[in-house]
Amino acid sequence: MTTTTTAPPMLSLRNGVAGYGPTTVLDGLSFDVHPGERLAMIGRNGVGKTTALRAVMGLVPLRSGSLHFLGQDIAKLQPHQRADLGLGYVPQTRDIFPSLTVEENLLAGLKRRPRSALDEAYTLFPRLAERRRNGGTQLSGGEQQMLSVARALLGRPRLLLLDEPLEGLAPLIRLELLRAFAQMAEQTGIATIIVEQQVDEALQYAQRAVILDHGTVVHTAPANELLNDGDTLERWVGMAVH
Ligand SMILES: Nc1ncnc2c1ncn2[C@@H]1O[C@H](COP(=O)(O)OP(=O)(O)O)[C@@H](O)[C@H]1O
Ligand SMILES: [Mg+2]
């Protein structure tokens, strides 16, 4: 007799409810991420995408619902404890230290790893190697984003949460970043959730997508299927892809 086993999800949010003050933003949100998976999370402005990532990271408390990561209940853990377990987060605002150089910013992400680990970041983002002595403020928007992502990666997360990493960047830089993300995913086996307004680019990067509306998942589909489903995108995201 043969048995088929499906690998359990690495992250699982069930019926998550969260908000700010009297406002409920996440309203029964459920989704899974599988090991090594690239998941796109899309939806109109204000539907709760950033709040969802913040709730996973522990920056917004869950009022109810359950959250498991690598088999462990993490709903009550502090953000730094979740980071230690393997969750990495690159917030929408690129939170690099502007007064520090590229290299100093990266050193701040090393935690207990040797300095030689910086080579991983420089291999993935050669642009950062060229600019290692430059101050954070001397970087272009794309380079700042690379630095944010590279620094998060040095903590060796198993799941990286990327909040609109392409926002405000020129098309060529977006392409370069997406290529670096794909290379990173292939080389490290890391799983990613990418939140994006640039829906077509996110769907090209991702394998699967969840669409949020009013703090809940309204549609789940393989990314390549959704790319060709203009009706669904028009309905829930309000934009056609080209
Ligand atoms: N710190 C906050 N305090 C109060 N309301 C907030 C805060 N952050 C976000 N919101 C509100 O929560 C809703 C969801 O926001 P957000 O999760 O940022 O959505 P998205 O990332 O999908 O654009 C919005 O209505 C937003 O105005
Ligand atoms: Mg947002």
* Residue 99 burial (10 A CB sphere; 0-12, 13-18, 19+): exposed
- The residues, ordered by sequence, that sit 6+ positions from 3 with a Cβ below 8 Å of its Cβ are none
Determine the distance separating the centroid of ligand 2 and the alpha carbon of 115, expressed in angstroms: 33
- The residues, ordered by sequence, that sit 6+ positions from 112 with a Cβ below 8 Å of its Cβ are none
pLDDT computed for residue 3 by the predictor: 54
| Tokens standing for residue 28 | 């029964």
DSSP, res 34: -
Is the C-beta atom of 53 inside 6 A of ligand 1?
no
* Percent composition of the chain: helix, strand, coil (DSSP 3-state, to 5): 40, 25, 35
Hey, whose CA ends up nearest to atom 10 of ligand 1? 20
pLDDT computed for residue 4 by the predictor: 54
Count the neighbouring beta carbons within 10 Å of the beta carbon of residue 30. 15
In whole angstroms, what is the distance from residue 130 CA to residue 90 CA? 22
Is the C-beta atom of 22 inside 6 A of ligand 1?
no
194: left (phi over 0), alpha (psi -120 to 50) or beta: beta
Nearest-atom index, ligand 1, CA of 48: 17
In whole angstroms, what is the distance from residue 27 CA to residue 32 CA? 16
Hey, whose CA ends up nearest to atom 3 of ligand 1? 20
**pLDDT digit string (tens) for the chain, length 242 residues:** 555 557 789 999 999 999 999 999 999 999 999 999 999 999 999 999 999 999 999 999 999 999 999 999 999 999 999 999 999 999 988 778 888 999 999 998 887 888 998 998 998 889 999 999 999 888 988 889 999 999 998 988 999 999 999 998 988 889 888 988 898 888 889 999 999 988 999 999 999 999 999 999 999 999 999 999 999 999 999 865 55
| Residue among 31, 50, 62, 216 whose CB has most ligand 1 atoms within 8 A, to mutate | 50
pLDDT computed for residue 34 by the predictor: 97
Is the C-beta atom of 45 inside 6 A of ligand 1?
yes
Query: Domain segments of the chain: what residues?
Result: 11-236
pLDDT computed for residue 111 by the predictor: 79
Determine the distance separating the centroid of ligand 1 and the alpha carbon of 148, expressed in angstroms: 22
Q: Which CATH number fits domain 11-236: 3.20.20.80, 2.30.130.10, 3.40.50.300, 3.30.450.20?
A: 3.40.50.300
Hey, whose CA ends up nearest to atom 7 of ligand 1? 20
Hey, whose CA ends up nearest to atom 26 of ligand 1? 46
Task: Give alpha helix (H) positions in the chain.
Answer: 49-57, 79-85, 102-108, 118-124, 126-130, 141-154, 171-188, 199-205, 223-227, 230-236
Nearest-atom index, ligand 1, CA of 54: 17
Cα–Cα separations (whole angstroms), residue 85 to 12, 13, 77, 172: 15, 16, 10, 34
pLDDT computed for residue 124 by the predictor: 87
